[in-house]
A and B are shown apart, each in its own frame.
Chain A
Amino acid sequence: YSQQLALELYFYLS
């Protein structure tokens, strides 16, 4: 486990 995904992948930019 090393890679921290970015929040933009989960939430949408509005």
Chain B
Amino acid sequence: MLEARLEQANLLKKVVDAIKDLVQDCNFDCNDSGIALQAMDNSHVALVSMMLKSESFSPFRCDRNIALGINLTSLTKVLRCAANEDILTLKAEDAPDVVNLVFESAESDRLSEYDIKLMDIDQEHLGIPETEYAATISMPSAEFQKICRDLMALSESVSIECTKEGVKFACSGDIGSGSVTLRSHTNVEKPQLNVEIDLSEPVALTFSLKYLVNFCKASGLSEQVRLCLSNEVPLLVEYALSNNSYLRFYLAPKIGD
């Protein structure tokens, strides 16, 4: 059986909120290392990969592999019933029909309990090879969100060009064009504002802003976001969570006609 207790319901609320517009039904794969999720969006150009390590829960118990097929709209409805600071416990039997969610207030004696019916989801799994990326950019997640939103006002696509000069986000559309360039930057007092660019070779790729703006819904999960790029491979957008847990998004690049 599965029993996984999260100190704060907020973590799961934010994760589900960040992915629910990309994927609708998905399996939460539970085993002794934690709870993982991998799902492609309908158009098969974006992939969500979440890993909540067992260390992110206290306690965490999962005796055997269990796939919880959950509709994220249903999960969102139930998670809305939890206060952000509630303690959240996920429970399921070994061959479950439902997943049980218990919300406990740390400050009062309230205990809420919900069951969500599970679905049989036959999901295609993509193998993601370990990739040595040509460019890795760490930057404030709020900054990345602003850039994506700003450029989306002008265009559907953004080109991300990384050279030793810095990283340039550029777009052009019907009303004109725009760009934002960032250089490496270290803020000793506020390291969350650092911009770090690790480059082994120059990269230039074009991506759909609609997806990037969608990924940025995860900004509340982490002060920093990591962008990993190599020519002609999908972009990796990673929000690191505590205990080596993560929320990753992959996006296939656009190509010329």
Contact = CB atoms under 8 A, between A and B. Distances in A.
Q: Do A and B come from one complex?
A: yes
Interface of A: 1-14
Contacts of B252: 4-7, 9-10
B128 A11 contact: yes
A6 B125 CA distance: 14
B206 interface: yes
B176 interface: no
Complex A-B, nearest 4 residue pairs according to Cβ-Cβ distance, in ascending order: A14-B127, A11-B126, A6-B44, A12-B127
> What size tier do the contact residues of chain B reach?
20 to 34
B234 interface: yes
Contact of A13 (B125, B234, B250, B255): B125
B47 A11 contact: yes
A1 B233 CA distance: 16
Contacts of A5: 45, 252-255
Interface string B181-211: 0000000000000000000000000101000
Contacts of A3: 254-257
B256 A1 contact: yes
11 contacts: A5-B252, A6-B44, A7-B126, A7-B250, A10-B234, A11-B128, A11-B250, A12-B129, A13-B124, A13-B125, A14-B127
Given A4-B43, A4-B45, A11 B254 contact: no
B46 interface: yes
B65 to A, nearest CB: 16
A9 to B, nearest CB: 7
A6 to B, nearest CB: 4
Contacts of A13: 124-127
A5 to B, nearest CB: 5
A14 B250 CA distance: 17
B157 interface: yes
B216 interface: no
A14 B40 CA distance: 13
Contacts of B129: 11-12
Contact of B257 (A2, A11, A12): A2
Contacts of B128: 11
Contacts of A2: 254, 257
